[in-house]
Amino acid sequence: MNAAPLAAALAVLGATAAGASAQDRDRPADDRGQLERSTWRLVREAAPAVLSITVTTRAPKFPRLLIPGVMLAPAAGEPERIEATGYLATAQGHVVTTASLLRNANLIEIHFQDGTVRDAGIVGSDAPFQMAVLRTAPPRNPKPLSECAEVPSGGDTVAWFFNAKQSRSRPDVRVATVHRASVDGTAGYDRYLAAPLRLDPGSAGGPLVAGDGRLLGMAVQEVVPRTGGTQTGEASTLFVQGVDLQQAVADIVRHGSVQRPMLGVVLAGQGNRIDQLLPGSPAELAGLEEGDQIIGVDDAPVSALPDLTRALLRKDVGDSIRLRVRRGDRDLAPLVELSAFSLPPVPTTAPLPGAMLELTLTALASPLDEREVRVSQVVEHSTLHQLGLRAGDRLLRVDGHSAARFLARHRIRPGDTRPRVLEIERDGGRLEIRIVE
């Protein structure tokens, strides 16, 4: 990211509930006293909603079936304990934190400011907002951060950042100027707030609070400006805005996910070429085809997946968009009506009848075309067994597609994925198996 240092930033004043920083001591006494009173008021009003979260990751000892014929291998290694921050969003015990914290979570513990520790479960998450909602037993007389404020466009706002990781008895409160910042290269969210704060380990998920106690945002990632690998400016922390989080929480609590209209396409990698169309999707109904390149949505250009995500993020179900599509040497401009579309049901048939395929957690974290798929079992006397497929083979490609992409296509359109040619790796060599009906 090529970002200039944040203008008019106060940097970190380092003010905590225990006292003011050296910079604060240089302020006139009246101003310093007002800052201290504001800090104490926020500690009293907002701190009860700031929570420390401990996640113990799972190390499953048994495989898990993903779809018929495909299983997830047991994870290697020992469980880990991860610490982070969150905040109480509703009086019913809904807690908001970062979604990345909960990857492979087995046990989730919420540490309230009064020392109470309670287990929590995952209600749902949202990738563009990088957030997740947990549910736990609320404390007596809960004080959630349920009121939100917005930072005005083109201006700065003084805000307080709460980090429960530093102390479970009293949160760390830091003061900084905050402004709106649309950041290039992000996965889809385009309305970040930015503040000149380092995001210390365990502080992701911490709330950013205005002087009146209303929620401004939640910390999700740190950005360090670099050019050619060299740091060129001070680090800043990005926050998803509170007003967006509030709507997301409402949707997740009610539906289990954020309700957004869908186009119904799967793009190839992070590019803009359509690899798959979901059956009955708005894109399919509008006449789009596999191989088309989406180069624009209304007036917004699209060259990669994040561009498309950002262009659709603010749309509602029923909205019509003008897509700009390149098909070969032609440019098309179909009108597409967006709908609340979802994936089709899980298929009832195996992608390779007579064989069980296996992926690992590590493979699932890799790009689609780089995921390793192995054959874990082959039914004796089955067609594939007679053709020479064996347990332990690594499945490389199916009909010219990578093995993982073949599985993704089977998940969406199982009737269109009858395999004909398998490319496998065995003992360092490559073999080809042709299936003839």
Q: What is the pLDDT of residues 94-117, one digit of tens each?
A: 999 999 888 778 899 999 888 889
As a whole-number percent, the residues of the chain with pLDDT over 90 amount to 45
pLDDT of residue 7: 23
Nearest CA to 282 among 320, 315, 308? 320
How far is residue 336 from each of residues 328, 344, 370, measured CA to CA in Å? 20, 20, 32
| DSSP assignments along 117-147, one per residue | EEEEEEEEEETTTTEEEEEEPPPSS------
CATH class of 265-337: mainly beta
pLDDT of residue 207: 94
Q: What is the pLDDT confidence band of residue 13, given thresholds at 50, 70 and 90?
A: very low
Level-2 CATH architecture, domain 355-434: Roll (2.30)
Nearest CA to 49 among 206, 219, 177, 252? 206
Distance of CA 372 to the CA centre of its chain: 23
For residues 213, 216, 222, 225, the Cα torsion angle rounded to the nearest 10 degrees is -120
Q: Does residue 42 have a pLDDT over 70?
A: yes
Residue 393 one-letter amino acid: D
Pairing of strands 394-398, 94-98: unpaired
pLDDT of residue 208: 93
pLDDT of residue 426: 95
Residue of 181 and 126 predicted with greater confidence:
126
Nearest CA to 412 among 260, 257, 265? 265
Q: What is the pLDDT of residues 341-370, one digit of tens each?
A: 777 889 999 999 999 999 987 777 677 788
CB atoms within 10 A of CB 341: 18
Length of the chain: 437
Q: What is the pLDDT of residues 45-54, one digit of tens each?
A: 788 899 999 9
Residue of 156 and 206 predicted with greater confidence:
206
CATH class of 1-259: mainly beta
Range list for CATH 2.40.10.120 in the chain: 1-259
Q: What is the pLDDT confidence band of residue 10, given thresholds at 50, 70 and 90?
A: very low
Range list for CATH 2.30.42.10 in the chain: 265-337, 355-434
pLDDT of residue 55: 92
pTM: 0.75
